[in-house]
A = this chain, B = another copy of it.
């Protein structure tokens, strides 16, 4: 059985490309409220795991001991665009814990924010691991290592106490036992695979933390507070996560590589998780927007609708729509179609 088509890309009179995928919306008890496709197959959450990866930083007292701010918690949960607002804050945090860019296990990559990259090239600057979208998360692990008295070097190894804590936290929040399959994420840190059902349930713990221990509840609430207070630090200028969180205050939306997206919806006490089969972010961004509208967690106004139906312009920037000669290009959200395959228990 293949997953349903959840996003269609049209050109002219035809559907040109399609994206298949699955999604799960669960409450904190693991009860599914909406679903489509195979929600039991293990998937790597990739960067959508970051809110969970930030829990030990707070729960252990490391954040308090090192005076970690809400802005820095937001950066620990971020796939940031490498803009100066991100890199200067991460660098200052590293300095405060007695570390520096040379301690980062992630490699350097071009800043996601194109204007920043262009300005750096024009100045003759080179990007460093600080510009890696995961540098805040890594600095969180370094802070945790410092607090635990563990070596900072090797914080990305699966046997390091920081990573063991992440795995334990994830399993507890997703109500899983046993070893989880894992792979190495793009930024060198382990990433643990679990079903969309389990991932949605873990995210629902953030939305409705009543079942958590007091220390974890406080940590989960602080993650949500920090991310929703600083959406521009969680992603960056013009990014979909940032825009979704700005449009719906209180909501957490977090992308992951290879077509993953999660949402934490405190107003409904729900968590959502989705994965596009082929890994395309154009489809995950469209589907999460459609899902949030369907759930009533995002108003179906112009800005949200623009995300759910993003234009595919040509190189002259011709506007989308039924223009001359039948030009009708667009990524159309087919969440309505996916909704036909969904059920409410």
Contacts and interface: CB of A to CB of B under 8 A. Distances in A.
Given A14-B193, A158-B325, A9 B258 contact: yes
A132 interface: yes
B315 A109 contact: yes
Contact of A188 (B106, B124, B183, B314): B314
Among A43, A185, A316, residue most surrounded by chain B Cβ atoms (within 10 Å): A316
A211 interface: no
Nearest to A280: B278
Interface in A295-329: 314-318, 325-327, 329
Nearest to A134: B315
A277 interface: yes
Give how many copies assemble into the complex: 2
Interface string A47-71: 0000000000000000000000000
Contacts of A12: 44, 181-184, 191, 193
A329 to B, nearest CB: 7
Contact of A107 (B184, B259, B278, B317): B317
Given A17-B259, A18-B278, A121-B122, A11 B327 contact: no
A249 interface: no
12 contacts: A2-B20, A11-B44, A11-B184, A17-B278, A19-B278, A107-B314, A107-B317, A122-B122, A187-B315, A188-B314, A188-B315, A188-B316
Given A109-B315, A184-B314, 4 more contacts: A12-B44, A14-B42, A186-B315, A187-B314
Q: Which 6 A-B pairs have the closest CB atoms?
A: A12-B183, A107-B315, A17-B279, A11-B183, A107-B316, A278-B278
